[in-house]
Amino acid sequence: MSKECLLVAISNQKGGVGKSALTVVLASYLHYEKDLNVAIIDCDSPQHSLVRMRERDKKAISASPYHQQLVEKQWERTQKRAYPIIGSTAEKAREAADKLAEKENLDIVFVDLPGTVQSTGVFRTIVNMDYVLTPSIPDLIVMQSTLSFATTVLDYAKSQKDVPLKDIIFFWNRLKKRSNTDVLKTYSQIMGELNLSVLDSTLPDLCRYEKEITHAKKSFFRCTMLPPPAKLLKGSGIGELADELIVKLKLK
């Protein structure tokens, strides 16, 4: 396995906070726009929603001359193939990532973990990542369980010598236009006191996340074969989030 390949789990026990959606959008942006070599391990078994999304994207693109042309132009520009998306169980994710990194030259592997699983096997997967990225929504009940889980994991990681996990990095997702910034500041302060890292970048709640490629419509945001188009990237916070991560995780 190449030394520089970083393993990053996208994790939050709470469902619906945007783990899978952001895994794809971030992966596509970093792979197709930022010249990094990315892979995804999809642990949402047995549904494997991202593996299935790749299949949908392939079909939709081959049925649409407009999107096909975009993929061809991208190939001419980058000479890069689509990144791999591999299905795995959450318990076997580390092994799946190692296997992939052995045969491909990768900079970063995102592991999309399901919300509901809490088992020893998943705990092992989490502490065997380099980083955990945790999208969160500012909700009291969600935050209480998320924070206590994070501190438990980090305390364990610090107490063990051979555990690779370096940090759990939080960021806010799905912020409404009128969200209370005081609440966010309070949460961020509590997280600071617990020595948890919170990114400066925040992501607004936007309808564009629903837009997948179909042969009938040109517009799309979430796609495994193409990056989010510049027009829709603007205002999404994804570019800023990616730039902050590139610096924080020393990806370049």
Ligand X SMILES: Nc1ncnc2c1ncn2[C@@H]1O[C@H](COP(=O)(O)OP(=O)(O)OP(=O)(O)O)[C@@H](O)[C@H]1O
Residue numbers at the binding site for ligand X (CB under 6 A): 15-21, 44, 114-115, 173-174, 203, 205-206, 209
Stretch of 11-19, 158-166, 193-201, 240-248 contacting Mg ion, by CB under 5 A: 11-19
The total number of residues shown for the chain amounts to 252
For the segment 14-53, give every residue that binds Mg ion (CB under 5 A): 19-20
User: Residue 17 binds what, of Mg ion, ligand X, none (CB under 5 to 8 Å, by partner type)?
Assistant: ligand X
* CA angle in degrees (0–180, nearest 5) for 36-37-38: 110
Q: How many residues touch Mg ion (CB under 5 A)?
A: 2
Nearer to ligand X, 15 or 192 (CB): 15
User: Residue 206 binds what, of ligand X, Mg ion, none (CB under 5 to 8 Å, by partner type)?
Assistant: ligand X
Are 226 and 67 in contact by the 8 Å Cβ rule? The answer is: yes
Are 91 and 125 in contact by the 8 Å Cβ rule? The answer is: yes
Residue with CB nearest ligand X?
Answer: 115
Are 92 and 86 in contact by the 8 Å Cβ rule? The answer is: no
For 216, residues 6+ apart whose C-beta sits below 8 A from its C-beta are none
User: Residue 21 binds what, of ligand X, Mg ion, none (CB under 5 to 8 Å, by partner type)?
Assistant: ligand X
Looking at residue 248, its amino acid is K
User: Residue 15 binds what, of Mg ion, ligand X, none (CB under 5 to 8 Å, by partner type)?
Assistant: ligand X
Nearer to ligand X, 6 or 90 (CB): 90
For 172, residues 6+ apart whose C-beta sits below 8 A from its C-beta are 135, 136, 137, 138, 184, 198, 202, 203
Nearer to ligand X, 32 or 110 (CB): 110
User: Residue 205 binds what, of ligand X, Mg ion, none (CB under 5 to 8 Å, by partner type)?
Assistant: ligand X
For the CB of residue 115, give the shortest distance to ligand X in the complex, in Å.
3
The pair of three-digit structure tokens given for residue 49, joined into one six-digit string:
């929603």
CA 54/CA 65 separation, integer angstroms: 18
